[in-house]
């Protein structure tokens, strides 16, 4: 599932920050141009963190 701006997601940080584990946050910007990617869609969170989406949390939209 491709995330949208404003979605709450779980990301795997960029490779140089792999020791930080995963992070949860709100999508501020979608950085991957294609609709899918084998390693996950790359996003920037509102906190400024960048990583590949591992899960999109579904709210009661």
Q: What is the pLDDT of residue 39?
A: 85
User: How high is the mean pLDDT of the chain?
Assistant: 87
Q: Is residue 36 pLDDT above 60, yes or no?
A: yes
Q: Is residue 17 pLDDT above 60, yes or no?
A: no
Residue 15, phi then psi, degrees to nearest 5: -50, -40
Range 7-17 average pLDDT: 83
pTM of the model: 0.82
| Number of continuous H segments (helices) and E segments (strands) in the chain | 0, 4
Q: Is residue 16 pLDDT above 70, yes or no?
A: no
């Amino acid at each position: 599932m491709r995330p949208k701006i404003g979605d709450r997601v779980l990301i795997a940080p960029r490779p140089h920050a792999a020791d930080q584990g995963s992070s949860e946050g709100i999508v501020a910007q979608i950085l991957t141009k294609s609709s899918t990617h084998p390693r996950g869609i790359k996003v920037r969170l509102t906190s400024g963190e960048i990583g590949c989406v591992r899960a999109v949390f579904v709210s009661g939209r």
